[in-house]
Amino acid sequence: MRAPIECEGAPRDLGLDQGRACADTLRARFGAQPWRERLWLQAGLAGAERARLLRDLKRHFPHQWESLAGMAVGARVPTGWLAQELTRELAGGEVALPVAVAIDHGRVLLARGLGGEWVARHSRPEGLFASVEVTRPCLTAALAGVNERGLAVAAVGTRDATERCAAPASLLAQDCLERFEATPAALEWCLGRPGDGHATVWLADARGELAGVEFAGAERRVLRPSEGLLLSGAGAAREEELAKALREAAPLDAPALARRIEGDAVVLDPRERRLVAGGLDLSPA
């Protein structure tokens, strides 16, 4: 069982806390880079692609830009390398299993496969909503989380960014957790903000309202499942098998759904403000 890390304060402080908590992991990963690459990054030479990402982060996601800078200080690794890792993790063809399940008179559970190394995180941003999340050690944005007002968000990136904006659209998940308490306002934010690449962000709230946004470069498509169960990302055969198991097991709660998904997964219950992952059962409080 992995104890959650605690991050609190202004954006830079949030990153500083995470950088210190994940320093060993991050320094080991940075140390595995080719020595020429390490020297290049330590000299502050980010390269054109990383420089474009850092520029767009600062312009469109200023809180996460500040958190990234704080994380670099806390872990004692170059900011440019963290930017490179952010792109790889959020928009590099990730294989995951996002699941949306509506049960019990409109109650919604969101589940997302994790895979790879992840950490649970309590985020208490200054002046914004607190949340409990799962993320990668090197990421400022949550992969999935639920905030103190009952908004749950799960994001998955599927392909690399294009030329419009170097900052991946998956970063919007963190904005939604910090700012909104209901799906409609979060959905409007996702539809109107910059962010590139191919990704899907699922939103669910304590009232049972569920929606998703599918990003493809500059295009946005709203997803509103008409069925009680929606699965994607696992392949047709596995999705059919899992769907059958979930229907037979209904009604589900978050721990029961987590047990039905093979491998590491996180399950969010917005009504109960609850996150279940890897033996952890957490709330934003």
pLDDT digits (tens, 9 = 90+) for 180-218: 999 999 999 999 888 777 888 999 999 988 898 988 877
Backbone angles phi, psi at 47, to 5 degrees: 85, 160
**Average pLDDT, stretch 108-132?**
92
Same structural domain for residues 250 and 119? yes
**Three-state helix/strand/coil letters over 99-118:** EEEEECCCEEEEEEECCCCC
Token match 């030329």: residue? 163
Q: Which of 146-150, 167-171, 202-206, 228-232 has the lowest mean pLDDT?
A: 228-232
pTM over 0.85: yes
Same structural domain for residues 26 and 125? no
pLDDT band at 43 (very low <50, low <70, confident <90, very high): low
Same structural domain for residues 64 and 111? no
The residue out of 51, 71, 91 marking a domain boundary is: 91
Q: How many domains does the chain have?
A: 2
Residue pair 101/261 in contact by the 8 Å Cβ criterion = no
pLDDT given at position 132:
98
CA distance 102 to 34: 47
Domain range for 82:
5-91
- Distance, CA of 94 to chain centre: 12
Same structural domain for residues 108 and 188? yes
Same structural domain for residues 105 and 86? no
Residue pair 79/72 in contact by the 8 Å Cβ criterion = yes
Same structural domain for residues 204 and 256? yes
Same structural domain for residues 80 and 204? no
CATH code of the domain covering residue 236: 3.60.60.10
Same structural domain for residues 134 and 191? yes
Same structural domain for residues 119 and 17? no
DSSP secondary structure string, the chain?
--PPEEEEESHHHHHHHHHHHTHHHHHHHHHTS-HHHHHHHHTT--HHHHHHHHHHHHHH-HHHHHHHHHHHHHHT--HHHHHHHHHHHHHS-----EEEEEETTTEEEEEEE--S--EEEEEEETTS--EEEEE-TT-SS-SEEEETTS-EEEEEEEE---SS-SSBGGGHHHHHHHH-SSHHHHHHHHHHS--BSEEEEEEE-TT--EEEEEEETTEEEEE---SSEEE-SS-HHHHHHHHHHHHHH-S--HHHHHHHSSSSEEEEETTTTEEEETTEEE---
Same structural domain for residues 249 and 114? yes
Q: Which of 54-58, 107-111, 232-236 has the lowest mean pLDDT?
A: 232-236
More confident of the two residues 234 and 7: 7
Same structural domain for residues 67 and 139? no
The residue out of 34, 68, 91 marking a domain boundary is: 91
Nearest Cα to Cα of residue 105 among 180, 206, 224: 206
Q: Which of 2-16, 78-92, 207-221, 238-252 has the lowest mean pLDDT?
A: 238-252
More confident of the two residues 229 and 54: 54
Residue pair 268/275 in contact by the 8 Å Cβ criterion = yes
The residue out of 68, 91, 114 marking a domain boundary is: 91
Residue pair 158/198 in contact by the 8 Å Cβ criterion = yes
Same structural domain for residues 103 and 15? no
pLDDT given at position 159:
52
Asked if the model's pLDDT at residue 33 lies above 60, the reply is: yes
Residue 163, CA distances (Å) to 196, 243, 247 in order: 8, 37, 42
- Distance, CA of 285 to chain centre: 19
Instruction: Express each pLDDT in 80-95 by its tens digit.
Output: 888 888 877 765 555 5
